[in-house]
Structure 1
Amino acid sequence: MIQINLNVIRCLILIFAILSSAVSVAKERWQDDSYIEDSFIKIALQREYKETNYPKIIRWKKPIRLYFESDAGDAKLQKELLSVHAQHLAYITGLSIDFTQHTSDANIFVIFTKYDQLEDKVRQYIGDPENIRAALDEAICLGNFRRNSHYEITRGAIIIPVDYARRKARFLDCIVEEITQLLGLPNDSNDVFPSVFNDVSVDTYLSPLDYILLKALYSRHIKPGMNVTQTRKLFPDVLKELHSNGDINNAAQRVQQYSLKRYLGD
């Protein structure tokens, strides 16, 4: 009888060890708290094409109103794709995002055009092309934002040269990445993976890590104007909330809700 009980105990210990190992293996690197925090700092508090000595958190406070314009390609399809992704971002962040037909009511202008019209569109919607020459020379599509003194984003512009983006096989990438960055995650980093903010990544659609970064940015613990030190100090509270809500453990499933990827059946 004692021998049987010992065998049962050994079996239970073995099963527990196997299950523990499986759980450990199942946890992805992007679900690690320190990795999430470091990724957030790199994407939210650094600037692509612009060195910033004292970076601070930026994000939207007001509802977002999109103005859509197209003079190249299939305008109906472009607006459809943009609309699906915009509502996906609204679902993740809790922001109000909608379209307007009036430029006076818009605070993000999304322009689909031809490559040879790119600089003209920059002059119209962003400003002097020479001020963003590095981006013009290197980027496939452009995103630009303005903020107020409280570090709240107040205006943005996205310009997608349809012919050039398609030639580079980055048309969908431009739609997904540029408007996502304009929510307050403006940097790219090859250290952050998997992510649309990684230039060498194959990700076209938002990844589970991107979902977590957006959730973190619009957490009640994060405020516009916070610097790196302030952000790191409060980030454990952000992580605690994300764990409590199941956003980290379930990110791979939740990022697919209302997503462009699911809409297109990819």
Structure 2
Amino acid sequence: MRRWIRHIALAAGAAALVACDDMPTGQRPPAPTTAPQPQSEASRALQTYYTNVQADLLARGLLRTDGGGPDTPYTPDMLARNFEQIAFYDEYARGGGLRPSSGGAGQLRRWSGPVRISAEFGASVPRDMRSQDTATIRSFAARLAGVTGHPISYGGGRANFHVLVMGEDDRNQLQARLQQILPGASPTTLSLFTNVPRSIHCLVVAFSASENDHDYRTAVALVRAEHPDLMRKSCYHEEIAQGLGLANDSPQARPSIFNDDDEFALLTTHDESLLAILYDPRLGLGMTLDQARPVVRILAREQAGRIY
């Protein structure tokens, strides 16, 4: 069975974005004034493909929504190990598109300022899906704020975390919106969104501040509109969570969505602990792994005590 790639989580350096603090990221293009066009054959083919992928995963007991249980125990040491792998390492080279990373540990990255999430839908997305998914993302943002203690919200101001829900028939709209959100982005970065292989279900790219390469200021996630409901929800959970600073995956992380085995579809209590550790004030932006490791071990024990 082919290993399905559900997402990409990348971090782009400040050079990939020009004057990100001054971008008109809160401005959206006007809503389409014409009725949606009939779905294209290419979009229908993708919809059928992803429906079959979801059915296959569910038939094999994957895409679990229970968050784990007695069959997925983990210790504080396991939690600390998973945090190190997911927070300090990258699957892909920063600013290098889909080029694999060197494999070395990086430094701690997260948002120092408020995270303001918005969902933007392509013209092809039905109205009921827009309403349902907006509610999902709004609720998830509130959950993340509670878990991290960081100001994370949906709407209410100039968005800096853009969730673009676009289909095959929204390519022109997607390209125009990316140019508005990321006016100085490199062709390599833009190509990540506009030339996505079918095997990649969704992706997120986070951009750092010009004065601090470890401080995220803008993020853009792309979720395919052709996905069935559970796969779309899974993408929202994973891409938004990873865009907060947990950019890697680990085959050892369980129960977790930060694992490419697709066992879990939605954020687990284990993953909540990873996010709580990431945003604990005892860890600082730019910390190396060696600097952070003693603190991470303390925080992992605290998180395990909270759960058990």
Common topology (TM > 0.5): yes
**What's the CA shift string for 1:90-122, capped at 9, x where partnerless?**
1111122223365xx221111111134356254
With structure 2 as the length reference, what TM-score do the two structures score?
Answer: 0.63
**Secondary structure of 1:219 counterpart:** coil
Deviation at 1:125, TM superposition (A): 3.6
In 1, Cα distance between equivalents of 2:258 and 2:268 = 10
**Quick one: which of 187, 193, 200 aligns to 2:254?**
193
In the other structure, the counterpart of 1:151 is 214
Q: Which has the larger radius of gyration?
A: 1
Deviation at 1:150, TM superposition (A): 5.8
Q: 1:67-78, aligned counterparts within 5 Å?
A: 67-71=118-122, 72-73=125-126, 74-78=129-133
Deviation at 1:139, TM superposition (A): 2.1
In the other structure, the counterpart of 2:117 is 66
Q: Which moved more, 1:32-41 or 1:130-139?
A: 130-139
In 2, Cα distance between equivalents of 1:188 and 1:112 = 23
In the other structure, the counterpart of 1:88 is 143
**Secondary structure of 2:263 counterpart:** coil
**What's the CA shift string for 1:214-261, capped at 9, x where partnerless?**
111112221111111112132233234335xx3241xxxxxxxxxxxx
Deviation at 1:48, TM superposition (A): 2.9
Q: Does residue 1:233 correspond to 2:288, yes or no?
A: no
In 1, Cα distance between equivalents of 2:300 and 2:80 = 8
Report the identity percentage.
24
C-alpha root-mean-square deviation of aligned residues, in Å?
A: 2.5
**Secondary structure of 1:77 counterpart:** helix
Deviation at 1:123, TM superposition (A): 4.6
**What's the CA shift string for 1:45-66, capped at 9, x where partnerless?**
1123221545111111211112
In the other structure, the counterpart of 1:131 is 189
What one-letter code is carried by the residue in structure 2 that aligns with 1:234? V
**Secondary structure of 2:201 counterpart:** coil
In 1, Cα distance between equivalents of 2:139 and 2:113 = 20
With structure 1 as the length reference, what TM-score do the two structures score?
Answer: 0.72
What one-letter code is carried by the residue in structure 2 that aligns with 1:110? V
In 1, Cα distance between equivalents of 2:270 and 2:294 = 21
In the other structure, the counterpart of 2:90 is 47
Instruction: Tell me if the contact between 1:66 and 1:107 (Cα under 8 Å) persists in the aligned partners.
Output: yes
Distance change (3 Å), C-alpha of 1:42 and 1:54: closer
Deviation at 1:29, TM superposition (A): 3.7
**Quick one: which of 79, 82, 89 aligns to 1:36?**
79
Deviation at 1:89, TM superposition (A): 0.6
Deviation at 1:206, TM superposition (A): 1.1
**What's the CA shift string for 1:25-84, capped at 9, x where partnerless?**
x79542x12211110011111123221545111111211112221122321111111101
Q: How many residues align?
A: 217
In 1, Cα distance between equivalents of 2:240 and 2:146 = 14
* Runs of 5+ consecutive residues of structure 2 not aligned to the other structure: 1-69, 94-100
What one-letter code is carried by the residue in structure 1 that aligns with 2:77? S
Higher RCO (CA-CA < 8 Å; seq separation 6+)? 2
What one-letter code is carried by the residue in structure 2 that aligns with 1:36? L
